[in-house]
């Protein structure tokens, strides 16, 4: 009986313990649900932007100030429409391009070499949109005379951050069209020019520029090994290896090569380089005696196919005078460098717009970020960089528009020659710095891939490398000074002084005018002090000198 009593007591105790544990579990589950519910409500607001044209007050102010009223009316309507299309249709395609980068398939299932570069449907749609919006055509139709180039630049600026990387093939396409136009659009190239500048998606072509080979990028005079052999029909077959070909899915390309003589010998140096036009594929879609070795594994701009190519008798047409290839591509470099500036300014604007919107939503330490003076100061400093870069860009494309319609004075042409490398080298650096600073303004979220912010940082980093690094372009600035025998510098100083005279009448600007004049005096003192050591001293100072030119002009 005693044993049974003990068992009953143990059973009762065990049941009570089980019941107690169940109650505790139910209580913990209930608390967990409450805690999870509270946590789930603590999400961060996603930064968003609206119509990029309507929200860009500086852009709209600039156009209102400079464009003739009739042009402004038409341009405003189109840009508002385009801004809505960017917001609702094009930006989603941009993210698709990032998520679906190009894929290279070298062989088919049966072992046959096909060298097929597959791009996603969003990338192909970007090409169609570029034609529909006249992103290249606008500059060549000249519907707004000297303002056409500026109008094109504004559309490219709005498109750039939503293009999914398609701005790069557009830059090279514009450059190729410019080269062909500068050659007088010879009959054999008319079809290519018409396609490069077409608004019809079915006809529109994009172009590559195949300059970089294994021995270097900017040093094409010593780095180009590709040989061209003349054929009985007057065309050429190209043999060589192109180390870095952006937009490898383009329809055509312009490339440098050395013409081989009867003994197979080629003239070395820049005098041996000629410019060639080639179709990448024939009418049936087969590669033009080109083999794709591999796609480049890049830090950024992954949306675009960049490849290493073997030219194994690629059929091409000589389009420059023999040995004048470098001179022939100078127009292309000018255009692609301006596109680089457009990309840099657009990148800064996009990052700052997102940062500003986030500051209106994110609460830290009991108040919105926008109510923290230090945070606002940080955004303001980025804004100053972006505004200065924007105004520099607009002045360059304004000058280019004048030059292309034969309305530019000699002084304006000299100024354009100087400002293009100055703007490219400086805005490339600005874009990287602003991207890093803007990313930091989001805290840890800025470092998360699925926010899309790291993509913008990676893509911005190439802007100081493509189309000439900072040092290469700084030396190009010095060349422009030397070639003009000082005329370029005289025009620069005269132009800046005129701008300062206009500003000096406004009292609020007088401290800034004074600082700009002090900077000019320092620059002049430096140039006067170089004396007999000028070449070496100027080369060592080339980067700082170019930065000074950029800061003074944007100021």
Residues 360 and 496 in one domain: no
User: In the prediction, which pLDDT does 16 show?
Assistant: 61
Asked if residue 26 belongs to a domain, the reply is no
**pTM of the entire structure?**
0.92
User: In the prediction, which pLDDT does 218 show?
Assistant: 80
CATH number at residue 292: 2.40.110.20
Q: What average pLDDT does this structure show over 1-25? A: 57
Question: In whole angstroms, what is the distance from residue 31 CA to residue 372 CA?
Answer: 35
Q: Is the pLDDT of residue 6 over 50?
A: no
Question: In whole angstroms, what is the distance from residue 436 CA to residue 381 CA?
Answer: 13
Share of the chain above pLDDT 90, in %: 85
Q: What average pLDDT does this structure show over 436-444? A: 96
Q: Report angle CA 437, 40, 42 to the nearest 5 degrees.
A: 40
Asked if residue 22 belongs to a domain, the reply is no
Burial class for 333, CB neighbours closer than 10 Å (0-12, 13-18, 19+)? buried
Q: Is the pLDDT of residue 182 over 70?
A: yes
Residues 320 and 333 in one domain: no
Residues 119 and 257 in one domain: no
Q: Is the pLDDT of residue 239 over 70?
A: yes
Q: What average pLDDT does this structure show over 464-482? A: 94
Q: Is the pLDDT of residue 314 over 70?
A: yes
Tell me the two tokens of residue 44.
């961060």
Residues 478 and 535 in one domain: no
Residues 336 and 376 in one domain: yes
User: In the prediction, which pLDDT does 12 show?
Assistant: 55
Q: How far apart are the first and last CA of the chain?
A: 103
Q: Which of 197, 221, 236 is the last residue of a domain?
A: 197
Domain count, the chain: 4
Q: Which of 469, 487, 505 is the last residue of a domain?
A: 487
User: In the prediction, which pLDDT does 531 show?
Assistant: 63
Q: Which of 464, 487, 510 is the last residue of a domain?
A: 487
pLDDT tens profile 65-101: 999 999 999 999 999 999 999 999 999 999 999 999 9
Asked if residue 97 belongs to a domain, the reply is yes
Residues 481 and 542 in one domain: no
Complete DSSP assignment for 419-480:
HHHHHHHHHHHHHHHHHHHHHHTTGGGGG-GGGTHHHHHHHHHGGGTTTS-HHHHHHHHHHH
Question: In whole angstroms, what is the distance from residue 144 CA to residue 74 CA?
Answer: 10
Instruction: Provide the sign of the torsion angle of the four alpha carbons 384, 385, 387, 388, taken in this order.
Output: positive
Residues 60 and 193 in one domain: yes
Q: What average pLDDT does this structure show over 257-262? A: 94
Asked if residue 39 belongs to a domain, the reply is no
pLDDT band for position 220 (50/70/90)? confident
Asked if residue 68 belongs to a domain, the reply is yes
Q: What average pLDDT does this structure show over 35-48? A: 68
pLDDT tens profile 523-541: 999 988 886 567 788 899 9
Question: In whole angstroms, what is the distance from residue 153 CA to residue 338 CA?
Answer: 9
Residues 469 and 525 in one domain: no
Residues 318 and 445 in one domain: no
Own/partner contacts of 533-542, CB < 8 Å, gap of 24 or more, are: 538/478, 539/475, 539/478, 542/471, 542/474, 542/475, 542/477, 542/478
pLDDT tens profile 320-378: 999 999 999 999 999 999 999 999 999 999 999 999 999 999 999 999 999 999 999 99
Asked if residue 16 belongs to a domain, the reply is no
Residues 441 and 492 in one domain: no
Question: In whole angstroms, what is the distance from residue 212 CA to residue 372 CA?
Answer: 48
Contacts with 60 (C-beta within 8 Å, 6 or more apart), sequence order: 53, 54, 76
Asked if residue 35 belongs to a domain, the reply is no
Residues 237 and 276 in one domain: yes
User: In the prediction, which pLDDT does 339 show?
Assistant: 98
Tell me the two tokens of residue 366.
């009991």
Give kind and range of the element (H or E) at residue 152.
helix 148-160
Question: In whole angstroms, what is the distance from residue 51 CA to residue 40 CA?
Answer: 31
pLDDT band for position 219 (50/70/90)? confident
Evaluate whether 304 touches 165 at the Cβ level (below 8 Å).
yes
Q: State the average pLDDT for the chain.
A: 93
Asked if residue 258 belongs to a domain, the reply is yes
Residues 271 and 188 in one domain: no
β-strands 273-279, 252-259 pairing = antiparallel
User: In the prediction, which pLDDT does 175 show?
Assistant: 98
Share of the chain above pLDDT 70, in %: 92
Q: Is the pLDDT of residue 4 over 50?
A: no
Lowest mean pLDDT: which of 109-113, 218-222, 359-363, 532-536?
A: 532-536
Closest to 78 (Cα-Cα) out of 99, 100, 103, 51: 51
Structural domain for 494, as ranges:
488-554
Q: What average pLDDT does this structure show over 488-510? A: 95
Q: Is the pLDDT of residue 283 over 90?
A: no
């Amino acid at each position: 009986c005693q044993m049974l009593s003990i068992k009953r007591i143990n059973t009762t105790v065990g049941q009570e313990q089980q019941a107690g544990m169940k109650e505790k579990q139910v209580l913990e589950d209930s608390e967990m649900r409450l805690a999870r519910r509270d946590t789930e409500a603590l999400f961060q607001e996603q930064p968003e932007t609206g119509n990029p044209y309507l929200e860009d007050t500086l852009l709209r102010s600039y156009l209102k100030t400079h464009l003739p009223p009739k042009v402004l009316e038409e341009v405003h309507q189109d840009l508002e429409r385009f801004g809505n299309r960017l917001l609702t249709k094009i930006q989603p395609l941009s993210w698709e391009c990032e998520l679906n980068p190009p894929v290279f398939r070298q062989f088919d299932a049966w072992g046959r070499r096909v060298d097929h570069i597959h791009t996603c449907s969003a990338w192909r749609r970007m090409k169609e949109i570029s034609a529909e919006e006249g992103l290249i055509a606008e500059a060549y139709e000249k519907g707004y005379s000297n303002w056409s180039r500026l109008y094109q630049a504004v559309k490219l600026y709005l498109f750039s951050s939503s293009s999914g990387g398609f701005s790069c093939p557009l830059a090279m396409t514009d450059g190729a069209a410019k080269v062909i136009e500068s050659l007088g659009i010879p009959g054999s190239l008319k079809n290519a020019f018409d396609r490069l500048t077409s608004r019809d998606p079915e006809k529109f072509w994009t172009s590559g520029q195949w300059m970089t080979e294994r021995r270097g990028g900017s040093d094409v005079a010593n780095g180009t090994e590709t040989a061209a052999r003349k054929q009985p029909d007057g065309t050429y077959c190209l043999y060589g290896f192109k180390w870095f070909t952006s937009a490898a899915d383009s329809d055509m390309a312009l490339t440098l090569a050395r013409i081989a003589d009867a003994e197979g010998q080629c003239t070395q140096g820049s005098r041996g380089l000629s410019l060639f036009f080639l179709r990448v594929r024939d009418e049936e879609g087969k590669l033009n005696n080109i083999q794709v070795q591999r796609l480049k594994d890049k830090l950024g701009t992954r949306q675009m196919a960049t490849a290493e190519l073997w030219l194994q008798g690629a059929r091409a047409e000589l389009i420059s005078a023999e040995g004048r290839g470098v001179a022939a591509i100078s127009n292309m470099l000018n255009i692609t460098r301006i596109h680089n500036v457009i990309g840099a300014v657009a990148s800064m604007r996009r990052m700052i717009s997102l940062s500003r919107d986030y500051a209106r939503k994110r609460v830290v330490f009991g108040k919105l970020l926008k109510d923290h003076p230090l945070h606002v100061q940080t955004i303001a400093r980025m804004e100053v960089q972006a505004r200065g870069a924007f105004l520099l860009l607009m002045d360059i494309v304004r000058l280019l528009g004048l030059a292309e319609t034969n309305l530019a004075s000699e002084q304006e042409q000299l100024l354009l020659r100087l400002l293009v490398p100055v703007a490219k080298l400086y805005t490339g650096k600005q874009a990287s710095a602003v991207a890093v600073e803007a990313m930091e303004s989001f805290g840890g979220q800025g470092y998360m891939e699925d926010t899309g912010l790291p993509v913008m940082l990676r893509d911005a980093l190439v802007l100081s490398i493509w189309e000439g690094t900072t040092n290469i372009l700084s030396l190009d600035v010095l060349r422009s000074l030397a070639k003009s025998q000082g005329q370029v510098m005289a025009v620069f100083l005269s132009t800046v002084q005129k701008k300062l005279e206009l500003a000096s009448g406004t009292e609020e600007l007088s401290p800034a005018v004074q600082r700009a004049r002090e900077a000019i005096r320092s620059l002049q003192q430096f140039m006067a002090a170089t004396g007999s050591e000028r070449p070496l001293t100027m080369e060592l100072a080339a980067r700082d000198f170019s930065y000074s030119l950029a800061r003074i002009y944007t100021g």
